[in-house]
Amino acid sequence: MKIAMIGQKGIPVQYGGVEKHVQDLSVRLVERGHEVSVYSRTWYTGNSGTDRYQGITRIHTPTIKTKHFDAIVHVFTSTVHALCGSYDVFHYHGVGPALLAWIPRVFRPSARVIITLHSLDRFHQKWNRCARFFLKLGERAACVFAHETITVSRSLERYAKHTLHRDTRYIPNGVTIPTHKEDQKLITPFGLSKGEYIVMISRLVPHKGAHILVEAFKKLKERNPGNREIQKLKLAIVGGAAYTDAYIRELHLSASAMNDVVFTDFQKGDTLGALYRYARVMVHPSLNEGLPITVLQAMSYGLPVLLSSISEHREIIDDREVLFGENDVQSLVHALEHFMKLHSEERVQLGKRNKAIVQEKYDWENIVEKTEAIYRTTVAEKHSIASVGHVS
């Protein structure tokens, strides 16, 4: 089959859960003999035109790089370009891109349209009222224009069924267990040492909750002045802006009273892997998610995680020991204090359990098989309908 991936920023992944999902899925689909094109944005990849990446055709189309027009303009230009190709499947990623999924339904009725709901973007605090209105329309569009709609979490699946009145196919995000050990020296430039820092890995947007973690980290230090282990801890915040420069300035201002908060900006490759591998614990204080790939990645390294108690986190790990109250600084402080009191062997066991969970539930081979089956089924249905029409 010939498949067009539309809606992501591009590949290779620089940052972003959707981009990571699309890259990992596309690589595996190519390995299975499919032709996959991933539409990309020049500002994200640093390239232009059409080229190849790990067997994938990478196509750059124009956009307008502003907060409100970047995604939708790129989806439009990508869709128009894809109409000229002989794609069997148009696969849109996200509720915003879903708004334009009607175009191939009208102008390429022979193609099949698949839409993946990665999260409910209208709840993200960076959007204004107008943007949230259109993102809500995108949720409807994802269920109306698609031949099949995929949801990456059970909570999104329930939301689609009860609010959008559409049965969807649940296929979670996947993760690959790391196969090599990154050099510990990669964390040295950030002033970090093995096992002596807390890590958060995320785009720095308000709904991810970095401000909650910074405040909790401050209080953790204030409440435990005599605890040497806590006092030497650092906090590494790995990620950068997504049209949220003002928010990042507030984070830096909040952290300025301490010397123990390190902002690394976005990282990738072995450096990112090392930041996962050598942390004491990962904290993910998000207020809204689809199914967070960064959490799954941390778990794949055998890293303990502390998670806000939103339903998407509880879907991964439903364990009070590692959950803290959503948008609750004090609850996070208590969770950190409890974690720091654990014996080293208890922390190791938490990490081993995490690794076992991702191996059992979020293995990519199973995920790509389910996605490929949806493609095949919808394309087969197209041929079946065409045959019936021809006979009649």
pLDDT tens digit sequence for 65-79? 988 899 999 999 999
Quick: pLDDT tens for 221-233.
999 999 999 999 9
**362 pLDDT higher than 70:** yes
Identify the pLDDT of residue 392.
Answer: 44
> Given pLDDT bands bounded at 50, 70 and 90, which one contains residue 121?
confident
Give the pLDDT score at 258.
87
CATH of domain 184-361: 3.40.50.2000
pLDDT band at 390 (very low <50, low <70, confident <90, very high): very low
pTM of this structure: 0.88
pLDDT for 120 beyond 80: no
Q: Is the pLDDT of residue 129 over 50?
A: yes
Q: What does pLDDT average to over the chain?
A: 92
What per-residue confidence (pLDDT) applies to 152? 93
CATH number attached to the domain at 2-174+363-391: 3.40.50.2000
Instruction: State what percent of residues in the chain have pLDDT above 70.
Output: 96
Same fold across 2-174+363-391 and 184-361 = yes
pLDDT of residue 128: 76
Domain residue ranges in the chain: 2-174+363-391, 184-361
Task: Evaluate the omega torsion of the peptide bond into residue 178 and state whether it is cis, within 30 degrees of 0.
Answer: no
